[in-house]
């Protein structure tokens, strides 16, 4: 009987912990940049670069980057909501890109680089809408936020060479040096309490 109770308590503890794991999907320009930021956030696991929000099944990077599929470059990940809340994820999302430029981040232009929150639950939807309204009301940016808030659709994992891109290419890729590294340095200063 004692063994049975130990097993039952262990199973209940495991199930309670598993219920804290949620998923999120954000688009904020080039997925290499977004992936590099969110991989460093405590409570986040399984960060994948990919495509969402388009009309073409199984899109390739070439098709998406041509702007013909309607997909955005996104990151999709899991997070432990006991460690980091969705509100905190939204804060990081909105502070690590410019949400006022329609279909553009820096030199990257096209609908594939749009700012978007792809929500997986009604709670995520409501939190994103409320957060966006709060930011607009605060007048943090000179222009209104154009971030799209829409239901998550089919997620397509990007080609393997896009995964862990910054970690694997920072030494030899100029985009990493000139775009991603400065973004990461700023992120680390502002969100040092949220780093792994």
Q: Give the other-Cβ count within 10 Å of 60's Cβ.
A: 14
Strands 72-80 and 44-52, bridge-based pairing: antiparallel
Distance in angstroms (rounded) separating the CA atoms of residues 25 and 98: 17
DSSP state at residue 150: E
Stretch (H or E) spanning 80: strand 72-80
Q: CB of 81 within 8 A of CB of 107?
A: no
Catalytic residue among 20, 30, 33, 176: 30
Cite the DSSP H helix spans in the chain.
Answer: 2-18, 31-38, 61-65, 86-95, 122-138, 165-169, 174-175, 181-190
Return all residues near 122 (Cβ < 8 A) that are at least 6 apart.
none
Distance in angstroms (rounded) separating the CA atoms of residues 160 and 117: 23
Distance in angstroms (rounded) separating the CA atoms of residues 107 and 109: 6
Active-site annotation holds for 30: yes
| Chain mean position to CA 170 | 20
Residues labelled catalytic: 30
């Amino acid at each position: 009987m004692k063994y049975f109770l130990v097993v039952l308590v262990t199973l209940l503890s495991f199930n309670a912990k598993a219920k804290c794991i949620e998923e999120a999907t954000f688009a904020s320009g080039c997925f290499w940049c977004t992936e590099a930021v969110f991989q460093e956030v405590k409570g986040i696991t399984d960060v994948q670069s990919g495509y969402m929000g388009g009309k073409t099944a199984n899109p390739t990077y070439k098709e998406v980057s041509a702007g013909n599929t309607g997909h955005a470059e996104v990151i999709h990940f899991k997070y432990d909501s006991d460690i980091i809340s969705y509100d905190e994820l939204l804060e990081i999302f909105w502070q690590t890109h410019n949400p006022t430029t329609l279909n553009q981040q820096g030199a990257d232009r096209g609908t594939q680089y749009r700012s978007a929150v792809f929500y997986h639950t009604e709670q995520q939807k409501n939190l994103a809408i409320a957060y966006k309204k709060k930011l607009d009301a605060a007048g943090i940016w000179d222009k209104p936020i154009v971030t799209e808030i829409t239901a998550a659709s089919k997620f397509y994992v990007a080609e393997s060479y896009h995964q862990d891109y910054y970690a694997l290419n920072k030494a030899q890729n100029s985009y990493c040096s000139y775009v991603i590294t400065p973004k990461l340095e700023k992120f680390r200063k502002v969100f040092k309490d949220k780093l792994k």
